[in-house]
Amino acid sequence: MGSKREIMPQHNIHTLITELRELITLARNAAARSVNTIQIVTNFEIGRRIVEHEQQGEKRAEYGKTLLKRLSAELIREFGRGFSEDNLSNMRKFYLTYKERSEISGTLSRKLLSSAKSQASSGQLQKSETLSQKFTLSWSHYVFLLGVKNPEERSFYEIEATGQNWSIRELKRQFNTGLYERLSLSRDKGKVKELSEKGQIIEKSGDMIKYPYVLEFLGLDEKAAYSENDLETAIIDKLEHFLLELGKGFLFEARQKRFTFDADHFFVDLVFYNRLLRCYVLIDLKIGKLTHLDLGQMQMYINYFDRHVRLKDENPSVGIVLCKMKNNALVELTLPENANIYASQYQLYLPSKEELRQKLMEWAEGNEKGMEDGD
């Protein structure tokens, strides 16, 4: 007897498995978002009710501490360790920090009751999506953001963490490297305000530049001797981290990209493409002090790419010279005002937040003085 015929063609089984895998993945992601949203909004509501209770009772600090201690003891006894005094204090602070979003509070109890009765209903998924528009990150993210005192800076990190899908670890690194301050130092006053309202918007080449670039993840000892090749190799080895430091829209194309002109060979250290600006971004690495020759060399690289590599519908190429020491006066004297070339320092250690904030204050004062002189 011959072998029995297959009941179902093999390719149909693969198709079904693929469809089921996508369905299960979507359902689990939706469930995770729903659970996260309910936790966030529940904590918000707990904070609101604690604050309202305090407003109705004694307003002394001692009363607030006693209240949290008593609430914590009762809630831990019934619901577990998630309601420590510190956590309840964070919930209270969470409400006070984000109370402008309190329009969700009025219908919260009804939504939560509905959730308990019908976890899997499509209506509940829609409610979760509506609530997630108010609070888009995890509770761990918000606990960290509560420690950011500057409201504009806090808003910036919330927008970026949401848009870039940062983990809590990446959020902490971006904060510790002073991303907000570093981006602010490359913008005018209006653009700095835009950071807190919209996050980092990439519309022109200057929008992606940071001062300085922080490369602590390379693991190079600041005091040890290293070559430009060592720096380049370390970047390639940690390319994922370097792309995150560069920012939005970057794609890696080549290392030591060679081109030939008049029988001479030239090599661009690193070539990237930014899909948001639709242009090539060339990076040259310099471990010493920046010179006018370095800027002239980058100008040649840019000219070659614009004339022989980029397509007609692509925007002009951008050049970044990453150097250990930068002379602003030299850059201004060497480059024309409309040059698409930037010189920025890099450092191999985490910057001091206070130092960056001081630089930002000095920059703001300088801008205001310049405006007054102009008047």
* Same domain, yes or no: 96 and 220: no
Helices (H), the chain: 10-56, 61-79, 85-98, 108-117, 122-132, 139-145, 151-163, 168-176, 179-184, 189-198, 228-237, 239-246, 292-308, 328-334, 353-374
Considering the chain, what is the average pLDDT of its residues? 81
Note whether residue 339 is domain-resident: yes
Q: Identify whether 145 is part of a domain.
A: no
Same domain? For 224 and 129 the reply is no
Question: What does the pLDDT read at residue 223?
Answer: 62
Report DSSP state, residue 223: T
- Cβ atoms within 10 A of the Cβ of 68, count? 21
Provide the pLDDT for residue 299. Answer: 93
pLDDT of residue 133: 61
* Structural domain total, the chain: 2
CA dihedral 93→105→166→317, nearest 10 degrees, is -110
Is residue 226 located within the same domain as residue 344? yes
Is residue 67 in a domain? yes
Domain assignment present for 98: yes
User: For residue 158, is it within any domain?
Assistant: no
Tokens coding 261: 């002109």
The per-residue pLDDT for 65 is 77
What is d(CA 334, CA 287) in angstroms, rounded to the nearest whole number? Answer: 20
pLDDT attached to residue 220? 87
What does the alpha-carbon distance between residue 331 and residue 347 come to, in Å, rounded to a whole number? 19
Of 334, 335, 332, which Cα lies nearest the Cα of 318? 335
Ranges of residues in the chain whose predicted pLDDT is under 50:
1, 8, 105, 109-110, 113, 116-117, 119-129, 131-132, 371
Measured distance CA(280)–CA(262) in Å, rounded: 23
Quote the domain boundaries for residue 234.
213-350
Domain for residue 147, yes or no? no
Residue 97 in domain: yes
Please indicate, yes or no, if residue 161 is contained in any of the structural domains. Answer: no
Instruction: Judge if 217 and 344 occupy the same domain.
Output: yes
Q: Which of 86, 104, 135 is the last residue of a domain?
A: 135
